[in-house]
Amino acid sequence: MTHRRTSIADMARALNLAPSTVSRALTQYPDVSEATRQRVRQLAAELGYQPNQLAVALRKGSSNTLGVVVPHINGHFFPEVVEGIAEAANEAGYNVMICQSRDDTRQEKKNLELLTNAQVAGLLVSLASTTRDAAHFEALRRADVPLVFFDRALDGLTGSHISSVVIDDYAGAYAAVAHLLAEGYRHIAHFSGPLHVGIFQRRHEGYRQALHDHGLPFREELVFFSELSQQAGATGMRQLLRLSLAPDAVFSSNDLASVGALQVLKEYGLRVPADVALAGFSNAEFTTFTEPPLTTVDQCSRQMGRVAVQQLLHLLHPGSAPGPVHPVRLSPQLLVRASSQRLIPA
Amino acid sequence: MTHRRTSIADMARALNLAPSTVSRALTQYPDVSEATRQRVRQLAAELGYQPNQLAVALRKGSSNTLGVVVPHINGHFFPEVVEGIAEAANEAGYNVMICQSRDDTRQEKKNLELLTNAQVAGLLVSLASTTRDAAHFEALRRADVPLVFFDRALDGLTGSHISSVVIDDYAGAYAAVAHLLAEGYRHIAHFSGPLHVGIFQRRHEGYRQALHDHGLPFREELVFFSELSQQAGATGMRQLLRLSLAPDAVFSSNDLASVGALQVLKEYGLRVPADVALAGFSNAEFTTFTEPPLTTVDQCSRQMGRVAVQQLLHLLHPGSAPGPVHPVRLSPQLLVRASSQRLIPA
DNA sequence: ATGAAAGCGCTAACAC
DNA sequence: GTGTTAGCGCTTTCAT
């Protein structure tokens, strides 16, 4: 037979107390005699009482659940961020509800409704790449739902209940290209994603600025736009190799396209990094397994998750650190591996 | 100023109706005049009414949220399964709450409490590898919480509200080893995880049985036990190469250890697959990037997630397909890649 | 220090 | 077809 869970009312009856007293005994509430508190705690332990969080949340008007919306949880990056989020949230006594937008704005909107209808205490969102229009976030802003964007933020949207944590894509790209230049490469190509996506735009800028700062010209034909799949990386590399002045290095806005390029280079009998150097972005797991291992930019994903939760906690409890919560920009770390080290150490 | 969400009571007041009527108008409930239904729907749309799912769940005694507990969401496998789960759940009108046990039984227990306190309609669980004792699941069984194990199941536990979906590890391992034998390898080593973990035990059995069925002896010194890290794979391979009768193939219970072995083989100047063949398990993303690409066993992860949800839905709504819900065992698919193909096609 | 009562937002049983 | 009432389990005034 189905077992109903013990409620506060049950315990109150058993102990001949009012429900309110039992409730108080189970929380930090001061005005309860130590004796009753003991009795209640004891019984609760015996019966394995667990509060119905639904009821708590309904009464209090807010739950201890945080909502997370990510484009997907494939690959390396988002799972790590989510892990960081889950860790930090649990430590702070919150649990986490995760939805995937599958990079679709409509689905994203549905997810947000779902989560707000579940009365989450706050939201952590990484935007779908198709999202341009911010209408569905306007509603959240008006309802004062605390909201932290991570990785893919909506620049236009600000408010007292909104913050964000992103990585400094510009700095990461700049560091990678500066490194290639320091190694002596001079004809550096770039694989970019669509520029209307912020991260790709900023990585592209970092690339250009690094060239500029080192007195090198920007050559349009060295930039290849694609969705950055492995296939696209291969295609891009083939195309670059057909140029009269072919590049001696490629900085790719992700790692997958780097691998595609690597495979084509091998096909052509070119050596990496002796003939052509490669540097990617994201520190995907497989970058350590390729030959040579790929230089890349680490995105401190777990840290991003933790920081995003910190931001959200500040929004939820302004008491601890009053004043506006400022967006955070994390500095990514360049991981130099064999694919870009021309000078073999002696 | 903070905006309170519109409630059914609000709309009832505005339309001069009883809350119950409004509620009925918004559901499939039959006994409502088409006129009122229209009026209500209209106003709801205007005001952007969204039901408070907390209240609905509290009232109905069960929510439309499914709880998921996974050891972690790193790597390739679990994210894919979770994606399958989320997809199928959303299609069926459920949303999903995900927790990570970090392979720790205590954390797993906490997660289960968290989710049941949140009144989830059902649970999808993949066990932490440290979980031996089933006490915390006994409680769920007694409370009749529908429960589906996936990938890592608890064999001992059965009941009318419990089911499971796993892959046929035995068959997968058998297929991999049979393939190696068919390619002409005769001294096949095995990297295994701890045998108290079911999956490793069954893969180990598949390995032994395949050898046996092909009339080959089981040689204890060819089995290397570890936690199957890349490092462990390297160590294992070194150890195997010191044997007087060294193996000409390795079947590893995961892909990471395979990579470790591959790196050691290259160090020793041995060719893969000419000198030593490699086959792993899991179809990790990086198996296509190694050189040569690694033969492995795909675990149909997304499908597993979808099937797990199907099982759970059957437990939740026995109406559609009455009778007991039987555990499912999915057949994994062997993916033959270059690391195990001795006979180069002409 | 404890109890009584109200109510979070919703739905289902029971009137009419 | 619609209204009235009660209650899911909890917390929080307001009394005493």
Express each pLDDT in B160-211 by its tens digit.
889 999 999 999 999 999 999 999 999 999 999 999 888 899 999 999 999 9
Q: What angle do CA A213, A283, A267 make, to 5 degrees?
A: 85
Q: What is the pLDDT of residue A346?
A: 44
- Token output for A64: 């201890």
Q: What is the pLDDT of residue B343?
A: 66
Q: What is the pLDDT of residue B108?
A: 92
Q: Which nucleotides of D are covered by protein (CB under 7 A)?
A: 1-13
- Token output for A9: 């009312």
Cβ pair A268, A282 in contact under 8 A: no
Q: What is the pLDDT of residue B346?
A: 44
Using pLDDT thresholds of 50, 70 and 90, give the confidence band for residue B2: low
In 10 A of CB B269, how many CB atoms? 7
Cβ pair A126, A154 in contact under 8 A: no
> What is the SS3 assignment for B131?
coil
pLDDT for residue B345 is more than 60: no
Residue in A272, A279, A285 with CA at minimum distance from that of residue A297 = A279
B86 contacts A99? CB cut-off 8 A: yes
Q: What is the pLDDT of residue B268?
A: 97
CA distances from B112 to A210, B29, B32, B109, B252 (A): 51, 35, 41, 5, 33
Q: What is the pLDDT of residue A321?
A: 67
Residues in contact with strand C, defined as Cβ under 7 Å from any of its atoms = A 16-21, 24, 30-33, 35-36, 55, 58-59, 61; B 4-5, 7-9, 19-20, 23, 26-27, 51-52, 55-56, 58-60
- Cα-Cα-Cα-Cα dihedral sign, residues B266, B269, B274, B277: negative
Which residues, 6 or more positions from B119, have their beta carbon under 8 angstroms from its beta carbon? A52, A53, A54, B57, B58, B61, B62, B63, B65
Which alpha helices (H) appear in chain A, and where do they start and end? Answer: 8-15, 19-26, 34-47, 53-60, 77-91, 105-117, 135-142, 169-182, 198-213, 230-241, 255-267, 301-316
Average pLDDT over residues B295-304: 96
Span A152-200, pLDDT tens digits: 888 777 788 899 999 999 999 999 999 999 999 999 999 999 998 888 9
| pLDDT tens for each residue of chain A, 346 residues long | 567 789 999 999 999 999 999 999 999 777 899 999 999 999 999 999 999 999 999 999 889 899 999 998 887 889 999 999 999 998 998 988 888 898 889 889 988 988 898 889 999 999 987 777 778 888 888 888 999 999 988 877 778 889 999 999 999 999 999 999 999 999 999 999 999 888 899 999 999 999 999 999 999 999 999 999 999 999 999 999 999 999 999 999 999 999 999 999 999 999 999 999 999 999 988 898 888 999 999 999 999 999 999 999 999 987 666 677 889 999 999 999 999 998 654 4
Cβ-based interface (< 8 Å): residues of A facing B: 2-3, 5, 48, 50-55, 57-58, 63, 65, 72-75, 79-80, 82-83, 86, 95-100, 113-114, 116-119, 139, 142-144, 259, 285-286, 289-291
> What is the SS3 assignment for B182?
helix
Q: Can you tell me the distance from the alpha carbon of B271 to that of B260, in angstroms, rounded to the nearest whole number?
A: 15
Q: What is the pLDDT of residue B317?
A: 86
Greatest mean pLDDT among A59-73, A255-269, B67-81, B89-103 lies in A255-269
